[in-house]
Amino acid sequence: MTADSHAPIRADARRNRDQILAAAKVVFQAQGPDVPMEEIARSAGVGVGTLYRRFPDRESLIRAVAQDSFERVLAEVRSVALEEPTAWATITRLLAHSRELRVMLQLALLSERAHEIITRDPAVRGIRDEIFGLLEDLVVAAQREGSLRADIGAGDIGVLLSLLVRTFPAADAEVAGMMLHRATALILDGLRAPGTPLPGRRLVQGDLG
């Protein structure tokens, strides 16, 4: 059994683990997954020894952050789909407001090391497949509603989400936020039916590697 298994643990150990994962997400987003482990421990408010007891190496921490983020995204997609009246409203909300989706994509796309760890881990891969299955269902449902253009697949949604996690130089945080909101609005306008025909074919999960 690894230090990062989901076996029952004491409440204080669980609390430390949750603090470490939350801090790692924030630090990874800001500086990437190669940041010193000591900085993650400091941000989590725990000792380095505590961090290494739960996560003996960087790979185990990246894997745990990825699995936690993917699980949260899966839960969020299911929850939003139940709360919103249409598939299009669900897609719009996920694109515009999902912090967990951004965390997941930044980790998976902006670091080769993290991408390799994530893609070869069967547990994370299984959750990723579930997420893509739900996205594909939403795409089909939104196209039946007539709100989403017919030449879009779940893979296209994944590509557009990956574009939204890229950072660009900005004068300040307010301008950076405005950039993101404007880019999201443009992407959503481009997804609306009927739209100008796209080159090539609709993208599916397998196209993204």
Q: CATH no. for residue 16?
A: 1.10.10.60
Buried b (16+ CB within 10 A) or exposed e, 15-35: ebbebbbebbbebbbeeebee
Give the domain range for residue 29: 9-56
Indicate whether 130 and 161 sit together in one domain: yes
- Please name every residue paired with 148 in a beta bridge, in sequence order, or none if there are none: 192
Beta carbons within 10 angstroms of residue 181's beta carbon: 11
Most confident of the following: 81-90, 92-101, 110-119, 126-135: 81-90
Residue 204 pLDDT class (50, 70, 90 cuts): confident
pLDDT tens readout for residues 159-198: 888 787 776 677 777 887 788 888 888 889 999 998 888 8
Indicate whether 80 and 151 sit together in one domain: yes
Q: What do you get for the CA distance between the two ends of the chain, in Å?
A: 30
Indicate whether 111 and 179 sit together in one domain: yes
Residue 52 pLDDT class (50, 70, 90 cuts): very high
Q: Residue 105 is encoded by which pair of tokens?
A: 């994509």
Instruction: State the Cα–Cα distance between residues 164 and 184, nearest whole angstrom.
Output: 7
Indicate whether 187 and 95 sit together in one domain: yes
pLDDT of residue 199: 87
Instruction: Please check whether residue 1 lies inside any domain of the structure.
Output: no
pLDDT of residue 124: 86
* Radius of gyration over every alpha carbon of the chain, rounded to an integer in angstroms: 18
Beta carbons within 10 angstroms of residue 4's beta carbon: 17
Residue with tokens 């965390």: 103
Instruction: Please check whether residue 3 lies inside any domain of the structure.
Output: no
Residue pair 206/133 in contact (Cβ under 8 Å)? The answer is: no
Looking up residue 198, the CATH number of its domain turns out to be 1.10.357.10
Residue from 121, 148, 130, 149 nearest 77 by CA: 130
The mean pLDDT of the chain is 85
Q: How far is CA 187 from CA 24, 157, 208, in A?
A: 29, 10, 19
Instruction: State the Cα–Cα distance between residues 62 and 127, nearest whole angstrom.
Output: 15
